[in-house]
Amino acid sequence: MSATHTSHTGTAKQHWAQGLTVFAAVILMLSGILDIFRGIMGIAEDDVFVTTRSYVFEFDLTGWGWIHLALGVVAVLVSLGLFRASMWARVAGVAIAALIVIANFLSLPYYPVWSVVTIAFAGFVIWGLCVSRSDTSSLR
């Protein structure tokens, strides 16, 4: 009976890991799309952003636009790899999510609500990819 119990537990763990990986892929894709939109807005110099003069990390809005656009495109591409549960995509997903957190923290005064939401999304991606361990061959 313990062998049957072990196989059911292993299957449940596999489903849990696959579910978290898909969750992280979807959230990373949403974060990437939001960053692409934010990048386009920054490049177009839209009036949506507030400029502050006394912020320590002061950058040009067009520069921030290009940074967010690039991060968004890479995030969407990595999320496509996560749907295939590739190990390279998991590592790249954690790295790009960390870069998204840093970029949104540094651009926090320009659009605070959007930055906080995107930081939270990236945090969920990091959590989802770090918690689900794919030790089985079906997830490789």
Give the containing element (helix H, strand E) for 51.
none
pTM of the model: 0.75
- Computed on alpha carbons and rounded to an integer, the radius of gyration of the chain in Å comes to 18
List, for residues 84-138, the tens digit of each pLDDT value. 878 899 999 999 999 999 998 988 877 788 889 989 999 999 998 988 765 544 4
SS3 27: helix
